[in-house]
Amino acid sequence: MIYIKSKTEIELMRQANQLVKHTLEMLIEATKEGVSTLALDKMAYEFIVKYGATPSFLRFNGYPASICISIDDEVVHGIPNKHKILAEGSIVSYDCGVILNGWHGDATRTVGVGRITADKQRLIDVTEQCFYEGIKVIQPNTRLGDVGQAIQQYAESHGYGVVRELCGHGIGRNMHEDPNVPNYGVKGRGLRLSQGMTIAIEPMINMGSHKVMTMSDGWTVKTQDGLPSAHYENTLAITDNGVDILSI
């Protein structure tokens, strides 16, 4: 079922998403060689609860941490661990969600640890631009296939793989609502977007093949070829003239 939000409800979602934004900014500032992902997760938890919110991911379907931290070939859902230490030259994705006053916010950023290669920086930059290519086409009545095609076309034009098994989603009082929002598609197909819908668009782009695998912990998804992956996400509302990005 798709829930249409009022302007008041969208403003409440903006508050949750602004907290996500500031949490991600704090994590990016703390991204340094030698820092454990568990320490970063603790920082995020303390920051979120200080503002009266709850981490969306904590205990969601049994997930054991407050945020997802995925490094290099980890696509999504990397579990923070005291033995998992940031290393110079790696790229790290922070996926953060919060519940504030009953409404969810959700966003992701991928950044480099210290100096990274030009190839890794290009992957990060293209992944972020994939998001913006997707929202360029959005108006009321735009089909989801148009959004997915725009993302896919841009990523593949740079030689990258677009993850198929995972996608964006509706969001509101629940972290995951209808509809699913794939990062690939066929123009003119799929659900029509309408004013008042709130969705999270989150390109997951691999440097090599689009193929992924889930690790034995049941959560961490990695690229099959071992090449790096980047992730960029924002929550947005569909308006009468396009989109309103709530997490920027």
State the pairing for strand pair 91-100/68-71.
Answer: antiparallel
CB 237 within 8 A of CB 5: yes
Q: What is the pTM of this model?
A: 0.97
Q: Collapsing DSSP states into helix, strand and coil, what is residue 148?
A: helix
Burial environment of residue 159 by CB neighbours within 10 A (0 to 12, 13 to 18, 19 or more): exposed
Q: Provide mean pLDDT across the span 50-65.
A: 97
pLDDT digits (tens, 9 = 90+) for 154-195: 999 999 999 999 999 999 999 999 999 999 999 999 999 999
What is the model's pLDDT at position 105? 98
H, E, C per residue of 184-238: CCCCCCCCECCCCCEEEECCEEECCCCCEEECCCCCCEEECCCCCEEECEEEEEE
Look at the domain 7-245 and name its fold: Creatine Amidinohydrolase (3.90.230)
Domain ranges of the chain: 7-245
Whether pLDDT at 241 is above 90: no
Q: Collapsing DSSP states into helix, strand and coil, what is residue 165?
A: coil
